[in-house]
Structure 1
Amino acid sequence: MKPIVIAHRGASAYLPEHTLPCVTAAHTLGADYIEQDIVLSRDGVPMVLHDIYLDSTTDVAQQFPTRGRDDGRFYAIDFDLAELKLLSVHERVDPQAHAVFSDRFPVVDLELRIPTLREEIILIEGLNKSRGMSAGYYIEMKSPAFHTAAGLDIASATIEVLEGADLHHKKAPIFFQCFDPDTLRYLKHDLQSPLPLIQLMGDNSWEEPPGVDFDLMRTGHGLDDVATYADGIGPWVPQLFEADGLTPSQLVSAAHARGLLVHAYTLRADSLEGGFESFAALHEGVFLNAGIDGVFSDFPDITRGFIDSHFSTEGTNS
């Protein structure tokens, strides 16, 4: 089967992440799926934003200078939808306001806005119709426990939007992903979502979410447990390889033996993972050597080109 291309935060190598122009670019560059990271506004609206914070990608500190918390960060959940729609989205910056990727789109104000999930669905469905395509959605619920502590149910709010768009059914081209296994179990057992679920795998040093042992999760016993509630795993690219960063680990074969898909993250030409010396070599490593079923890529056009040139055109792993 042909692996899938998942546009990471849209075509984020070329335009500010998660903006509607970035989504449009991902669609035209041939992504099979486009990622939506979801956080909630204070009034419970699902917004497409990678962080629970606003300061890395918006001008919130300029527009609402007194609304930061004691840690100096500005949280999306402290603003209602109308306030969030006043913010201008720019290329991602570090705490010193320097571009995280210096050779990407410049940090300028184009008056781009944070899209709601509903707005992004309208755009993608429109592009699917006008372009005769069928790009799908790859939705991550960010920090569910953080939202729960604030009295908001991010999973239910997300499903409500999908139901309103007639996209919450087993034939919908959608994956749900989350680092939090409890949220995936909640989706499967309590909310009875028919959509395929992907267990994201982080590094224990990130402590996100707290208390989840991803080292244990990658063992045979851990994967057995994942297979009881999820349809696949989403490992970090270095987890696909041994300590040398080049030799494939047993993770993919172990996951496949349990009927789990493997969709890894993230391919970046300007920030190579592992021991690979070129973006082409990294593609060969993850697809031809490790044997993954799909990947998140900041450069969906390059990944699309690699897959199309190395795999048959019959079907995709979805």
Structure 2
Amino acid sequence: MKTRSSVTVAAVLLSAALLVAPGAATAAGPDGEAGARHGRPLVIAHRGASAYAPENTLAAVDKAHELGIDWVENDVQRTRDGELVVIHDDTLRRTTDAERVFPDRAPWKVEDFTAAEIARLDAGSWFGERWAGARVPTLSQYLRTVEANGQKLLLEIKAPELYPGVEGDILRVLRAEGWLDRSHVARRLVVQSFSADSVRTVHERRPEITTGFLGTPEAADLPGYAAFTDQINPSHTSLTAGQVAAAHRLKGPHGKPLTVHTWTVNDAAGAVRARDLGVDGIITNNPDVVRDALGRAGSG
């Protein structure tokens, strides 16, 4: 994840922000799950349980389920023929064998390949021989696996500037797969992006959806974000108690305090630090390590 953009905040948004008295707020996920101020932060498997299975594959979703992790995070991009696929990089080089299968197609951009071409690629061997043959899933395939496991999804719109209109495409797939009904929207779905414009677009088109902005806005800019996002999700390297508290003092578009979900925390000490700073969720490649650390830390 890389921080990208910030929002210029208009005075009208600053004056319209809803402030909450310190200590009066309650933190929760979209379904009312407890966040840090009610105990342990939520644990979210980054690209699935990506320390144990190839990232963003169905195997990584299933591994998170095997570990007992309810929430998974993924990345969505668009192919040349308009299919949505789950992959982090905007090229196929790092996590597939695209260079071998299509040696004359450099630089192997996702947007330059059809869905059928991408479906031919091995997205598992780079991670280990036992994962040979894993594929880059379509968003529809991914949603069906998450649904079958009874899990919940933090969906990242990746590089929306490369794919004009991708927000509408994602909403159409979510609707077709049954993920925009009341139950899913209230309890099982968050849509996030590094692009404030993309997050705002999702909020404007489907205001009932919980949204998250990936980044670390200045405290003075937070009221502007609170007009269209429910979560402020910074890197753990930029995380401070003051930033968390500033977010918690604001109400988002659904009238609830902003929550903070930090990434990517992969060790016990980092998990305890994030919890002590007051975050509501921790995004991690090692969800079992983080979960167990939070359990130990909270048991003393």
Could you say whether these structures have the same fold, taking a TM-score greater than 0.5 normalized by the shorter chain as the test? yes
| 1:33 matched residue in structure 2 | 71
TM-score, scaled to structure 1: 0.75
Distance in 2, matches of 1:306 and 1:263, equals: 17
| TM-score normalised by structure 2 residue count | 0.79
Q: Who is 1:146 aligned against?
A: 162
* Consecutive unaligned residues in structure 1, runs of 5 or more: 93-104, 129-134, 202-213, 242-248, 269-278, 313-318
Q: Is the 8 A contact 1:5 1:297 kept in 2?
A: yes
Name the residue aligned to 1:199: 213
1:10 and 1:26 in contact (8 A); partners too: yes
- In structure 2, C-alpha distance between the alignment counterparts of 1:48 and 1:255, rounded to whole Å: 30
Partner-residue secondary structure (3-state), 1:296: strand
Q: 2:280 aligns with which of 293, 303, 315?
A: 293
Q: 1:87 aligns with which of 114, 121, 141?
A: 121
Q: Residues 117-156 of structure 1 correspond to what in structure 2 (within 5 A)?
A: 117-128=139-150, 135-148=151-164, 153-156=165-168
Q: Alpha-carbon deviation of 1:62?
A: 0.5
| 1:43 equivalent in alignment to 2:43 | no
Match of 2:243 among 217, 227, 251: 251
**Residue identity opposite 1:112 in structure 2:** A
Distance 2:176 2:113 in 1: 24
Matching residue of 1:282: 270
Letter in 1 for 2:242: Q
> CA offsets, 1:77-134, max 9 Å, x none?
1111111100111366xxxxxxxxxxxx536761110001111111122222xxxxxx
Distance 2:295 2:181 in 1: 29
- Which structure would you say has the larger RCO, counting Cα contacts within 8 Å and 6 or more residues apart? 2
Match 2:189 to one of 174, 177, 181: 174
5+ residue gaps in structure 2? 1-37, 251-256
Quote the Cα distance in structure 2 between the aligned partners of 1:257 and 1:239: 19
Query: Against the structure 1 CA distance between its residues 193 and 160, is the aligned structure 2 distance closer, same or farther, given a 3 Å change threshold?
Result: farther
CA pair 47-61 structure 1, distance change in 2 beyond 3 A: same
Calculate percent identity across the aligned residue pairs.
Answer: 32
**SS, match of residue 43 in structure 1:** coil
AA in 2 matched with 1:175 = V
Length, aligned pairs only: 252
Residue number among 138, 162, 167 corresponding to 2:174 in the alignment: 162
Aligned match of 1:240: 239
- Backbone CA RMSD of aligned residues: 1.8
- The residue identity in structure 2 corresponding to 1:295 is I
Question: Aligned partner of 1:188: which letter?
Answer: H
**Structure-1 separation of matches of 2:294 and 2:92:** 35
Contact kept, 8 Å, 2:76 with 2:86, in 1: the verdict is yes
